[in-house]
Amino acid sequence: MFMFNKSETEEKKYLEVILTKLREASQELDEKMSDYSKAIQETKKYIWENISQFDSVEKAANRLSVHQSVDSAEDAAAEQRQIFKLINSPYFGRIDFIRNDDLVEKSFYIGIHSFTNEKNYEILIYDWRAPISSMFYDFEVGKAFFTAPIGQIDGEVSLKRQYKIRNSIMEYMIESSININDDVLQKELSSTSDEKMKNIVATIQKEQNFIIRNDTSNVLIIQGVAGSGKTSIALHRVAFLLYKYKKTLNSKNILIISPNKVFADYISSVLPELGEEEILEVGFDEIAEKEIGIQCKFQTFYQQVSELIDDVDDAIVKRIKYKATMDFVNEMDAFIEYVNTEYFIPSDINIDTVNVPKEYLMRRYTAYNKIPVQQRLDLLATDIIESSRTSDGKMLSAYVSKKIKSDILKMFKFKDALSLYEDFYNHIGKPELFQLKQKETLEFADVFPFVYLKIFFDGTENYYYVKHLLVDEMQDYTPIQYAVLSKLFKCKMTILGDSSQSVNPYSSSSLEEINKIFTEADCVELCKSYRSTFEITNFAQKIQKNKKLIPIERHGEEPTITQCADKKEEFIEIKNSISHFLESNYGSLGIICKTQSQANEIYEAFKGTGNNISLLDGESKEFKNGIIITPAFIAKGLEFDQVIVPFVCAETYHTDLDKSMLYIACTRAMHKLDLTYSGMMTSFLQNNISPK
């Protein structure tokens, strides 16, 4: 059977043909945009010169013409951006496939976007999200199938190739083999980091592709080990859903809850790379701020973690732990049910001509039991006011109406949600578990329990425009936070994280606990770690063992632990490591500390050296390549070519929380990991290599 583009030479010639067609398409789009621009200017000039003679119909028609031209120009510009990306790298894969019901074998080139020859409508490049492209990820040479709108299409893959094309040049081509992705994956993983997270369309693995193309789960929970690519996979899933449901779903319908602004910036380029617009991003603190408003101040998650890292207060830990369980959610639900029946105490209304017995008030109040309390009371008052009349048949006066509303509000035991929340702890017999911080500020552990109760009392504006919610770092959020999400968002969700990477083990949530809130959720696990070398992964495993983690067989330098005489010598060692980094081909160095104060100290020591050094804290909003100094809980989700973890002494790392921080810090390293300390080394490293 004749093979299309059999040799590498033929493939390179074909690449030039495709590039020529892409450049022609780009030129045509340039001309289109120029024409649209001229049309807009001419229409605007015509309107300006003749506006006084137009009637309303002509004005509207001309305005519509301008809007249509602008929309067409924007569409052409978006298409042009895709073409530019394709000119740089038209495709990364190819499969030759013959259907069982066909005699002709066809070649399918797969890229980040589709490209069609406008002259004969032949698809020259298939989008990686297209149904037929799934075979590239799911099958090797042999029997294969894909699911099309008409059903399953069976056949056989006779050839599978992968390419690396950069700057319009084919750097290499790998022929079909037992596992074609492995070679390319190793090449990609061995490369240095970029400033932002990049797309992984060329190296998506079979188990990852299954998650990405899952469009049936209402709630999908992804438990992924450190370095498994779970965030990237979730973003590619979003891109797939936007592609498949483009008529009913757009980027404005997607919301991501991210741990901090730095992480949000780090992942911000993935969707634009895939041809989609950026999606909305918020943190849990912003959700809390919106729901609480001006009612009270509250401690942020960043402030809570910082406080716990600096000084573990047993009383605070006790309160956090108590409010971080599913049992606590159940207690709150039981309290709400009790409040529903016991906290509205009606009395007869006798005002002027209005006489309403308390039994009627209770019946009407009960009838509205699915509505928030405040709205329930308002509706009850409105019912009475609208159905009552004066002795001469007129509507009630403003004074009487106001008095009825006031009397009904007084029939509920509490006037506001905060008082009701404080009463909850009296109700369960544990008033000591509610403690305001100074300046009448809620502890972070109280924020979402309060929001949960406030939704019951005051109601909330539902995020109706959100059709898909993506929640990252799921292990850092408590069951009550997920209970709040279930109230606020009535949409499909993707929830992802790693229970081994909690920045606060006192309030971390397991997959099982989250599943208790979202009982209908489908759960998947990603166990293979791709980020770090085998040596770094093995090192981190000795700090905090994850039995399910499978390291990829990519080898590199052994991590080092350097003992120093004192802090001065430790800073010299860090300076030397920075110098070696600057002389290397690495793009990013993370100096990851346990606390923000330690990070600040190192930054002050090295910021004047003239190197590209940045400090990250709770207020940071941007991730940059170069040298970044940060505490571990800010570094979550980020990765660096090289990582230095200073101060790994027993004094710094000794609690369970400290162990989590050390594990997180070490698992940020892709290629090189160095640790330093003075004094006594932390016991968490005793199972690792001996100090040099």
For 9-37, what is the mean pLDDT?
A: 90
Name every residue whose Cβ is closer than 8 Å to that of residue 599 and which is 6 or more positions away in sequence.
Answer: 591, 593, 615, 616, 617, 629, 630, 631
Listed in order, strand segments (DSSP E) in 69-201 are 93-99, 106-111, 115-117, 122-127, 142-148, 151-166, 169-174
Q: How far apart are CA 348 and CA 346, in angstroms?
A: 7
pLDDT above 70 (res 637): yes
Q: What is the dihedral of CA 19, 21, 25, 26, to 10 degrees?
A: 20
Q: Which two tokens stand for residue 90?
A: 């038209």
- pLDDT for 37 beyond 50: yes
- Amino acid (1-letter code) at residue 521: A
Asked whether the beta carbons of 408 and 377 are under 8 A apart, the reply is yes
Q: Determine the average pLDDT of the residues in 108-128.
A: 92
Beta strands in 338-412 (DSSP E): 349-351, 354-356
- Which tokens sit at 590? 């993370």
* Rg of the chain on CA atoms, in Å: 31
Joined together, the tokens standing for residue 667 give 């698992």
Q: Which residue has the higher pLDDT, 656 or 107?
A: 107
* Neighbour count for residue 586 (Cβ, 10 Å): 18
Report the pLDDT value the prediction gives residue 202, as an integer from 0 to 100.
85
3-state SS track over 498-517: CCCCCCCCCCCCCHHHHHHH
Q: What is the pTM of this model?
A: 0.87
Q: Of 159-168, 186-195, 280-289, which gets the smallest average pLDDT?
A: 186-195
Rounded CA-CA distance 651/252 in Å is 48
CA 459 to mean position of chain CA atoms: 26
At a CB cut-off of 8 Å and minimum separation 6, what does 114 contact? 123, 125, 126, 127, 130
Query: Under DSSP, is residue 619 helix (H, G, I), strand (E, B) or coil?
Result: coil
Report pLDDT digits (tens) over 236-293. Answer: 999 999 999 999 999 999 999 998 888 888 888 888 888 888 888 999 999 999 999 8
> Per-residue DSSP letters for 435-461?
--BTTTEE-HHHHHHHHHHHHHHH---
pLDDT reported for residue 618: 86
More confident site: 57 or 233: 233
The SS3 assignment for 550 reads strand
Contact 563, 677 (CB under 8 A): yes
User: Alpha-carbon distance 638 to 664, whole Å?
Assistant: 10
Is the Cα dihedral 115, 120, 121, 123 positive or negative?
negative
534, pLDDT greater than 70: yes
Q: In this model, does residue 93 exceed pLDDT 90? A: yes
Task: Report H helices in 51-112.
Answer: 56-88
What number is the average pLDDT over the span 685-691?
74
pLDDT bin (cut points 50, 70, 90) of residue 691 is very low
CA dihedral of residues 564, 566, 567, 568 (deg, nearest 10): -90
Q: Residue 541: what pLDDT?
A: 94
Q: Quote the DSSP letter at residue 406.
A: H
SS3 116: strand
Structure tokens at 405: 């509303």
Residue 459 backbone zone (phi > 0: left; psi -120 to 50: alpha; other: beta): left
Pairwise CA distance, residues 643 & 532, whole Å: 11
What pLDDT sits at residue 644? 97
Q: Is the pLDDT of residue 74 over 90?
A: no
Q: What is the pLDDT of residue 456?
A: 96
DSSP 6: -
CA-based nearest residue to 239, from 268, 282, 199, 276: 276
| Mean pLDDT along residues 110-128 | 91
Q: 186 pLDDT exceeds 80?
A: no
Closest by CA position to 574, among listed 559, 590, 553, 596:
590
542, 659 contact by CB (below 8 A):
no
Residue 531 host element (H or E): none
What is the average pLDDT score of the chain?
89
Confidence of residue 7 (pLDDT cuts 50, 70, 90): confident
* pLDDT bucket at 390, cuts 50 / 70 / 90: confident
Q: Which two three-digit tokens encode residue 30? A: 């340039």
Name 153's bridge partners. 146
Look at residue 689 in the predicted model and tell me its pLDDT: 62
